[in-house]
């Protein structure tokens, strides 16, 4: 038998891209490719790109440039570029980097193996960009990066027209999966050992718009509560304009829906929100937070904020600081506005000078960190159950610490359990700890009260005990799988 060709997938951007890379990995392995061992050059390198991040194109072409001499010295090597930047730039990619073999878009990731083979046989680049979704991506084979947690797409695309965001133009209008298909996927994952799922959509709480059910998302949350063995349900990212009370009620009344909410604010100024075409105002945003906290007192709420949007005045910025103070976010992903070609905001007059943006950004970060630290201090002394996360332990003052996520998604570094708790804990297992220390971005627990070994831990152990099977996925963001930090890129919502 011939040795299979090897692959590596490099991923940049949001959770949707991460999940798409799991599909790309599954497609490649289904076509007979094998993950490249760590440290070895792959025969096929796939870039799954993002168009949201600043200088995304420069990063891509820089990486392609580094691979050009590698490919020249390695006959038969192939390079493929997909994702949002590929959907946007199209033939520009092969014009600027003629050594690229395949360019594919966000709507046809399932074509990758065929395009690679066609490029190899015809010895010329293949560029295939579809304008709309042909097959819902969740029907494609998927190689999950985590044995205990999984992304589950409920929809793709977005019907909003935010002036700073190019994602709807690249992902298309919202397409919803049928509830039965989603729940069947969740049940299958639970049967494989998964105990935590994150429901994923560009605007997740608008789910149901395509088939005319405005309460479809809250019904979906409640249905997940009926799945035996599913311990944790999360979702990201909702849009404040579509955030309804039935969703809050479902969160509060469904035990396995976690008390955490990531809801993008973007700006606290009503004038700027209007210019952004965000169809809500600060009072509505704060009202949602008040109702969530009334129903779920210990909920941790996180957000995205953009500083320096065109036309933002000092008064506008002070309004953002006011909303941040009133919202008491557990954390916030903050971004300095930068032009995104192809978005309406890129051509707006009154762009804010970079030095002003930088100053406001620093002031915002200081406030966000101050509040996050104060909120974390409120958790000290509480007993919480953590899902153990994957990753090596670390020494802290001679104490070996592991990491896990609390129900509210806060990161907790905890002392490794001693022999009195039995066998060592594994990723996916549950530990009950007492929080003893708070920092702005994490908590520390010096005391482990109990350990609960789980089916997820069994699944992780079975996977790691199997013959070497490198993931083949290299991420330009935090490691795949929940529990994990939210990505350092704004969610669409």
Q: Can you tell me whether residue 130 is helix, strand or coil?
A: coil
In the numeric block, which tokens belong to residue 242?
């579509």
Q: Can you tell me whether residue 174 is helix, strand or coil?
A: coil
Q: Can you tell me whether residue 270 is helix, strand or coil?
A: helix
DSSP class of residue 181? H
Q: Is 224 annotated as a binding residue?
A: no
Q: How many CB atoms lie within 10 A of CB 34?
A: 17
For residues 21 and 145, give the distance between their C-alpha atoms in angstroms, rounded to a whole number. Answer: 10
C-beta of residue 365 within 8 angstroms of C-beta of residue 334 = yes
Pairing of strands 411-415, 399-405: antiparallel
For residues 128 and 378, give the distance between their C-alpha atoms in angstroms, rounded to a whole number. Answer: 53
Convert 13-77 into a string of H (helix), E (strand) and C (coil).
CCHHHHHHHHHHHHHHHHCCCEECCCCCCCCEEEEEECCCCCCHHHHHHHHHHHHHHHHHCCCCC
The CA angle 407-410-414, to the nearest 5 degrees, is: 95
Q: Is 492 annotated as a binding residue?
A: no
For residues 94 and 103, give the distance between their C-alpha atoms in angstroms, rounded to a whole number. Answer: 8
C-beta of residue 460 within 8 angstroms of C-beta of residue 390 = yes
Strand partners for 234: 198
For residues 280 and 274, give the distance between their C-alpha atoms in angstroms, rounded to a whole number. Answer: 8
Strand partners for 448: 433
For residues 450 and 465, give the distance between their C-alpha atoms in angstroms, rounded to a whole number. Answer: 25
Q: How many CB atoms lie within 10 A of CB 226?
A: 10
Q: Is 158 annotated as a binding residue?
A: yes
For residues 232 and 198, give the distance between their C-alpha atoms in angstroms, rounded to a whole number. Answer: 8
**Nearest of 297, 29, 16 to residue 8 by alpha carbon:** 29
What's the half-sphere exposure (Cβ side, CA atoms, 13 Å) at 358? Answer: 3
Annotated binding residues, written as ranges, equal 14, 50, 84, 158, 162, 165
Annotated binding residues for [4Fe-4S] cluster, written as ranges, equal 14, 50, 84, 158, 162, 165
């Amino acid at each position: 038998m011939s040795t299979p060709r090897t692959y590596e997938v490099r991923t940049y951007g949001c959770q949707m891209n991460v999940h798409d890379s799991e599909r790309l990995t599954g497609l490649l392995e289904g076509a007979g490719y094998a993950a490249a061992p760590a440290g070895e050059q792959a025969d096929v390198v796939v870039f799954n790109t993002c168009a949201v991040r600043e200088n995304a194109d420069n990063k891509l072409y820089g990486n392609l440039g580094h691979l050009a001499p590698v490919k020249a010295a390695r006959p038969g090597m192939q390079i493929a570029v997909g994702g949002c930047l590929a959907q946007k730039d199209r033939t520009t990619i092969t014009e600027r980097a003629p050594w690229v073999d395949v360019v594919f878009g966000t709507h046809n990731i399932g074509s990758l193996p065929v395009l690679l083979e066609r490029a190899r046989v015809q010895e010329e680049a293949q560029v295939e960009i579809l304008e709309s979704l042909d097959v819902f991506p969740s029907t494609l084979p998927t190689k999950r990066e985590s044995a205990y947690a999984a992304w589950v797409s409920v929809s793709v695309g977005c019907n909003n027209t935010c002036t700073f965001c190019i994602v709807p133009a690249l992902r298309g209008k919202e397409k919803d999966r049928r509830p039965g298909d989603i729940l069947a996927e969740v049940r299958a994952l639970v049967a494989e050992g998964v105990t935590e799922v994150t429901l994923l959509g560009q605007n997740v709480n608008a789910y149901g718009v395509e088939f005319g059910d405005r309460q479809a998302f809250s019904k979906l949350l409640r249905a997940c509560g009926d799945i035996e063995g599913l311990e944790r349900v999360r979702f990201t990212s909702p849009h404040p304009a579509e955030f309804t009370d039935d969703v809050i009620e479902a969160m509060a009344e469904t035990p396995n829906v976690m008390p955490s909410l990531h809801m993008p604010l973007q700006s606290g100024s009503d004038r700027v929100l209007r210019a952004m075409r965000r169809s809500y105002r600060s009072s509505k945003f704060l009202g949602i937070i008040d109702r969530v906290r009334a129903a779920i007192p210990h909920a941790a709420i996180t957000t995205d904020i953009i500083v320096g949007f065109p036309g933002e005045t000092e008064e506008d910025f002070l309004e953002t600081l006011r909303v941040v103070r009133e919202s008491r976010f557990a954390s916030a992903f903050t971004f300095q506005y930068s032009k995104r070609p192809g978005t309406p905001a890129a051509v707006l007059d009154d762009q804010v000078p970079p030095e002003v943006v930088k100053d406001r950004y620093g002031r915002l970060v200081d406030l966000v960190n101050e509040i996050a630290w104060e909120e974390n201090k409120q958790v000290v002394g509480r007993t919480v159950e953590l899902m153990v996360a994957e990753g090596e332990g670390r020494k802290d003052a001679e104490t070996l610490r592991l990491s896990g996520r609390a129900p509210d998604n806060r990161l907790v570094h905890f002392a490794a359990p001693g022999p009195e708790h039995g066998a060592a804990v594994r990723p996916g297992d549950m530990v009950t700890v007492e929080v003893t220390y708070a920092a702005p971005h994490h908590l520390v627990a010096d005391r482990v009260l109990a350990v609960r070994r789980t089916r997820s831990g069994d699944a992780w152990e079975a996977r790691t005990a199997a013959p070497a099977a490198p993931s083949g996925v290299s991420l330009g963001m935090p490691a795949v799988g929940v529990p994990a930090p939210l990505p350092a890129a704004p969610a669409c919502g």
